[in-house]
A and B are shown apart, each in its own frame.
Chain A
Amino acid sequence: MSSETGKILTTDGIPLEVSLKKAERKNKIKAFLLVAPLLLFLLITYIFPIGDMLMRSVDDKMVTEMLPKTFKSMEKWDGKELPPEEVFESFYLDFQKLVEEKRDGKLSTQLNYTKNGFKSILKKLRRKAKNFEEGNYKEQIMAVHKRWADVEYWRAIQRRAPAYTSQKYLKGIDMYKNEEGKIVSVEEDRRVHRILWLRTLEIAFFVTLLCFLMAYPIAHLLATLPMKYSNLLMICVLLPFWTSLLVRTASWMILLQQQGVVNDFFVMIGLVADDSRPEMMFNKTGTYVAMTQILLPFMVLPLYSVMKTISPSLMRAGKSLGGTPFVAFWKVYFPLTIPGIGAGCLLVFILAIGYYITPALVGGASGTLISNQIAFHMKSTLDWSFASAMGLMLLAGVLAIYWVYNKLVGVDNIKLG
């Protein structure tokens, strides 16, 4: 096509190649314009805010901006002994400005995160600082409280100088940067977050396993029964699927309570005595039972849609070639269902790992998951940057699972129902 003479022209004299490319580009733009509104909407309201979470989780500008002079004069300080007069003076000036702007409370909260004990000494400093004389601030500040003469506290302030920090992420896995700047774990009995991460993984794993074990036989039954029966039984799967999550959680709360139906039944068949009814709610048992039932349809549906496509003659062929039904199942049927197993397990595991409502209602203290911790920090402690950091760690985990799944099985069309 490239030789001058062989060029094919359209009727209006433009080379065909150019004309086609133009049409192609026009089509591309047309297709893109259709997607653009939703894409733009999601970028602004959803994707960028997730980026915003990332910024928040590492952002530590608050203290940096509150004590600009202090941090400037601290640059020359080696941190070994008490800082020089210059640092004390600039700290005093910064602090007075914050008091005027009524922002000293925020500073004390922030510094208290870094080291306990700042709250009271800042309060005291605020009261005394009104009567400070000019000059020799080091003496005057140190006289306010003996902790002001402790170099540890000045080092703690210095640690807040950088505008960005990984501190929230470290806190999320129960680690912190100690005075020497080394990353170490917190004491054994304060490692709350690691327990939560492990528990979240454990519960998600076992819920997935339970769902798989329960879903496989019924998906198989649904796929092999004649239509008129399977449609009827399918309702048992689809009705819970379409029913409000809170309704299903409520029914488990009623069933599992101490005077509930399940306990009544146990007493009736003599499994437990009437006066020693086991506690089945507000602990891990409650979380397991309720989550398994709630997530079960998400396992059944992908398995069913795969099993439906497997021809029954394959099993028959396996048997006629001399395999027992079990061998035929294991060698022929089971390998064919692996895509369904993969999709179901992925779906259930990812849903389970981010579960919030059900564990919060039936989980009690020992059955709550990482999501509950995130919500707790969003709503109660208002430590939004920590909530963001934990959320992003969870998100990274979920994306990693997707990636691995994609490598192993391949994410083809996600099927709904």
Chain B
Amino acid sequence: MNDFIRQLAEITGPGFVSGEPEERYLYSMDQGTMPPVSPDAVVMPGSTEEVQQIMRLANKHKVPVVPMGGGLVLSGLTRALHGGIILDMKRMNRILKVNPKSRYAVIEGGASEGMLQAYLKKHHPELKHSMPDAPPIATLAGNICIHGSGHLSVLGGFHSDMLTGMEVVLPTGEIVKSGSCSVSTDWFARAPLPDLSGLFLGWSGTTGVVTKLGIRLFPSYAHNDMLIFVCEDADLMPDVISRLTGVQVAEDMTPWMTPKPEWARGFLHINISYGAHSKKELTFKRNLLQASVKKYSDQKIAGFLPMPPPQKSRFLKIPSSDLVTFADLRKGGGFEYVGAIMAIEHFAEAYRAGLNIARTYNVSYSMGARIIGAGHAMMFFYAYAFNRADPEDIKRAQHALEATNTAALEIGGIPWKSELPAQKQIIDKMDPGTFNLMNKIRSVLDPNHIMNPGNWEK
């Protein structure tokens, strides 16, 4: 390994490679509950060419490579399960191009959500991208590759739906492009070509290393507002969501259900955010949203919380800071959630399953969802806080997470950015033909099976 590290250092320079215990410790885990696994080394490439050289070297020596962005996935996807190297992409963080008319940006594989947000605010205040509610250091590439979602997901779907093209280094070292950038100098869309981007989306880093990507941008409004809808009956939620998304004005909709603070226990809320170019337009949009669920407010069984403007500012912050507060609920800063992607009609079932699990395992919970598209799907999440310094507490949270994955699959949902045990559960339920094709594709792209091995395996 020492010789291998020396060769890595020749590629990146010695400051960007380490096989020391400190780095190996730091890169052995994320903030979630998966047990640590130490890599043999960590390397931070500075360019696509360096990534290419690293992949060639690793492929030659059959050394496993785990690509990593912010390392904030919480489900342990960036642990080197079979040893080898963690390829930390954070140095490749440039924003390469913004096309304001066609509304897209081209960025490097390690650029973070916060960097793009700050860049657009400064250079293109009329544009924004869909921020996930992750720490701003989360990378765009990482989030897109796990099919993340965010503050514009009602408008634009999953973040992977907002991808317009990619540059990827294959496990064997070739550079490939997908989308319009493979034919044109413009990165406007994945259409109308065979969509090769799918080879790298949702694969948990088992097929290649994303070095550049194009993403859609959206108008940033001068006026922004939000509403909080509240009801007491989970069975109403699918219809409410369908009605609210039906008017097509919301940018983001996030239901939330939490027992803390105490006043919120038992109530189902939906935060709905929307923006407009003028106040008049903003009021018009609000009226459309309110009219869509008038059926329920007229019956006095649900409605919108009255909120003076100063109270709203906290909810208009992007990314939201609420999850951070929750993460420290049990003190010790442990926090993990299972997100399950599912159809919105399963809302009530999913909610009740979460309540049962929290009761059974005695865990602090918070539940919620992010609506994707015009009610096309949702990412329903179950968050459990635990004290990282208390092994019993971690174990309880782990059991709760496992039970949640099982429940989500039973409901007809699919665990999102699934950790190892959940991947196996998904594969068990998956159409065998699908899994066979996944393996065939993997063996073609990665003949030596060096890319994040251990993931998506039976």
Specify whether A and B are partners. no
